[in-house]
């Protein structure tokens, strides 16, 4: 749900889509660091398993009220990285947060932004999936001018947003296709984590899906070019696109997985 809120914020404030995807990356990185710091600082030495569980629950409860402001702070920080686009100033921030029911002052917003900035160890320049898509399309257009990359780019936006919002379902299906197993083992799931974090695979998958939808007669050519550019196999690109397309056209996700295992595009 966090991603959905970020997309809604960027749309409401008319921010560049890059800001939203960058903010998603910042939220994920910040929360990993912040939760780790909180739990490490709070947990007494020699704590029992029950005590550790209670501590984790208390920590999550404490963050619930702060989380909407943390999300907004990540969007605000992301907006400042793209100086050629609209930046969220403190006045805009206060008005927007008030409009969604959060009564906060400019000082509170500034403190939250600083807390997130420190939690990220002042490292904001992380690559986001949309950046990968843009770079790949630029190379694709340079290598093969006949491919309509500008039209593909416009379609890549809703495709990437769909994958982001349905990330868990799509990657669960992809895991089952990759392992050819309806119930993958814990070891298989652990090994698959690297796939879920591979922005290059996500980028080529988005472009492949957009090509299949908009320009299917160029499908084979585009997949081949993407494979050549990135070194990712045609099968991996096709599997990713197949899973995503199946989820796009279906509202019954369990049925999707059953159909995917024996088939290919």
**pLDDT digits 0-9 by tens, 197-246:** 999 999 999 999 999 998 899 999 999 999 999 999 999 999 999 999 99
**pLDDT digits 0-9 by tens, 114-140:** 999 999 988 888 889 999 999 999 999
**pLDDT digits 0-9 by tens, 13-38:** 999 999 999 999 999 999 888 777 77
**pLDDT recorded at residue 262:** 42
Helix, strand, or coil here: 145? coil
Average pLDDT, the chain: 85
- Write the DSSP string, 11-76: HHTT--HHHHHHHHHHHHHHHHHHHHHHHHHHPPTT--HHHHHHHHHHHHHHHHTTHHHHHHHHHH
**pLDDT recorded at residue 61:** 66
**pLDDT recorded at residue 102:** 87
At which residue do the structure tokens 């591979």 appear? 198
Mean pLDDT across 38-52:
58
**pLDDT recorded at residue 51:** 52
- The pTM of the full predicted model, rounded to 2 decimals, is 0.82
**pLDDT recorded at residue 260:** 47
Q: For residue 41, with 0-12 CB atoms within 10 Å meaning exposed, 13-18 middle and 19 or more buried, which class applies?
A: exposed
State how far the alpha carbon of 68 is from the alpha carbons of 72, 101, 102, 258, in Å.
Answer: 6, 11, 9, 37
Confidence label for 43 from pLDDT (cuts 50, 70 and 90): low
């Amino acid at each position: 749900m966090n991603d959905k809120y970020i997309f809604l914020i960027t749309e409401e404030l008319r921010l560049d889509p890059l800001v939203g995807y960058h903010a998603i990356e910042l939220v994920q990185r910040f929360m990993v660091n912040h939760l780790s710091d909180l739990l490490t600082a709070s947990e007494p030495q020699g704590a029992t398993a029950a005590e550790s569980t209670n501590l984790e629950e208390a920590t999550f409860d404490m963050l619930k009220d702060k989380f909407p402001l943390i999300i907004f702070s990540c969007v605000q920080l992301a907006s400042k990285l793209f100086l050629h686009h609209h930046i969220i100033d403190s006045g805009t921030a206060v008005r927007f947060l008030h409009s969604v029911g959060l009564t906060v002052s400019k000082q509170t917003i500034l403190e939250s932004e600083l807390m997130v900035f420190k939690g990220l160890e002042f490292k904001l320049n992380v690559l986001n999936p949309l950046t990968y898509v843009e770079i790949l399309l630029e190379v694709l257009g340079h290598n093969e001018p006949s491919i309509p990359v500008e039209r593909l780019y416009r379609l890549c936006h809703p495709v990437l947003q769909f994958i982001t919002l349905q990330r868990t379902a799509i990657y669960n299906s992809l895991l089952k296709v990759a392992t050819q197993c309806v119930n993958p083992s814990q070891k298989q799931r652990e090994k698959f984590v690297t796939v879920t974090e591979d922005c290059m695979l996500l980028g080529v998958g988005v472009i492949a899906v957009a090509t299949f939808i908009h320009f299917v007669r160029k499908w084979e050519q585009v997949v081949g070019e993407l494979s050549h550019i990135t070194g990712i196999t045609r099968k991996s690109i096709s599997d990713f696109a197949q899973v995503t397309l199946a989820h796009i056209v279906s509202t019954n996700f369990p049925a999707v997985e059953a159909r995917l295992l024996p088939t290919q595009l």
